[in-house]
Amino acid sequence: MPDPRSEQVLAFDFGTRRIGVAFGQQLLGTARPVTMLPARDGIPDWNLITRLLDEWRPQRLVVGLPLNMDGSENDMCARARKFGKRLHGRYHLPVEMVDERLTSFEAKGEVMAEQGSRDFGRHGVDDLAAVLILETWFNQQADRAPD
């Protein structure tokens, strides 16, 4: 049985207009942006997701859960959970939800630091937010690992 620490993982920053995607390897604990997929009211082009999974061959999927700052859930949480359930139902891979509070805000800050601008145009930062979501998940796994 392969070591679960060597899993390859795709992470998704769910949104109603765009879904950011990042890829990482748990053993290294690093992630990188892959793409931003268009969505219509939160519904992606499932063919694009199938192609991503065929290309990257992840063993696990992670979806950001946009909790309120007080930890309570909102409408977007329900939609992100539904997206995660659809991923699991279509691709039969383990799907984990991870608290993504502040990841989009943090990703925008990183872009501003690099570009010195608040103008994100139509490109957004969803793929960078997916990187932060995946790094959060990696850190949580490391914290749970036995010494």
Q: What's the predicted TM-score (pTM) here?
A: 0.84
Alpha helices, H only, the chain: 46-56, 75-91, 103-115, 126-144
CATH number of 4-144: 3.30.420.140
Determine if residue 50 is left, alpha or beta; phi over 0 gives left, psi from -120 to 50 gives alpha, anything else beta: alpha
Please report, rounded to a whole number, the percentage of residues in the chain having pLDDT higher than 70. Answer: 79
Indicate if the pLDDT at residue 119 is higher than 50.
no
Per-residue pLDDT tens for 19-39? Answer: 999 999 998 889 999 999 999
Q: Map out the domains of the chain as residue ranges.
A: 4-144
Rounded to the nearest integer, the mean pLDDT of the chain is 85
Q: Could you give the 3-state DSSP secondary structure of residue 107?
A: helix
**What pLDDT score does 121 carry?**
45
